[in-house]
Amino acid sequence: MAETLYKLMLYGFLMVFFAGTYAILYAIGRFSGLPLLVRISYSFAIFQFLAGLGMVFSPYLDILWRAIILFSVFAYLFIPPVMWKVVVEMHRRHED
């Protein structure tokens, strides 16, 4: 049990940590016009996806929780690009 918990906590930590890193690098990359940084940010998107899958495949969680985490893992993939568009659009509308 202790090992299962340890892995779940670690995966949970890494999932959101990588999601945050993905968001930060993606935003900096887009703002600075650095495609390489944007591409690097995608690797963190994959890391967060994999960390989330680590939780999804844990036999300790039932089907509902696996589904919730799977949903979150997919949601985090799209949050940075979507939010970037929202922020840019907000600024563009104001400037117009």
Partner 1 sequence: MERLYESQKLALWYFWTAILLFGAQLLFGLLSAIQFINPDFLYGILNFMTNRMLHINAMVVWLLMGFIAGIYWFLPLETGREVVGIKLGKLAYFAFVGAVAVVVLVYLFKQFGSGDFFTLWFITEGREYIEAPRWADIGIVAVALIVAFNVIGTAVAARKITGIIGVLIVDLAFLFGLYLAGMFFTPNISVDQFWWWWVVHLWVEATWEVLVGVLMGWLLMHLLGTPRKIIEAWLYVEVMLVFGTGILGLGHHYYWIGTPEYWLGIGGFFSSLEPLPLVAMVIHAVYDAGVHKLKTVNRPALFWAFAQAFGNLFGAGVWGFMHTLPQINLFSHGTQMAAAHGHLAFFGAYVSANLALFYFALGKTRVKEGYILNGTPWKIAYIGMIIGIFGMVAALTVAGFAQTMIERATLGSTWEAFIQAQMHPWMEEAFKWRLLFGVIFFLSYVVLLYDLLTAGKRVEALKEAEVVG
Q: Which residues bind partner 1 (CB under 8 A)?
A: 1-2, 5-6, 8-9, 12-13, 15-17, 19-20, 23-24, 26-28, 31-32, 55, 60-61, 64-65, 68-69, 72, 75-76, 79-80, 83-84, 86-88, 90-91, 93-94
What is the smallest separation between the CB atom of 2 and partner 1, expressed in angstroms?
Answer: 4
Q: Quick one: tokens of 52?
A: 């989330």
What Å distances lie between residue 15 and 6, 53, 72, 74, 87, CA to CA?
14, 9, 10, 11, 24
Closest to 20 in 3D by CA, of 82, 85, 80, 88? 80
What is the smallest separation between the CB atom of 77 and partner 1, expressed in angstroms?
Answer: 11
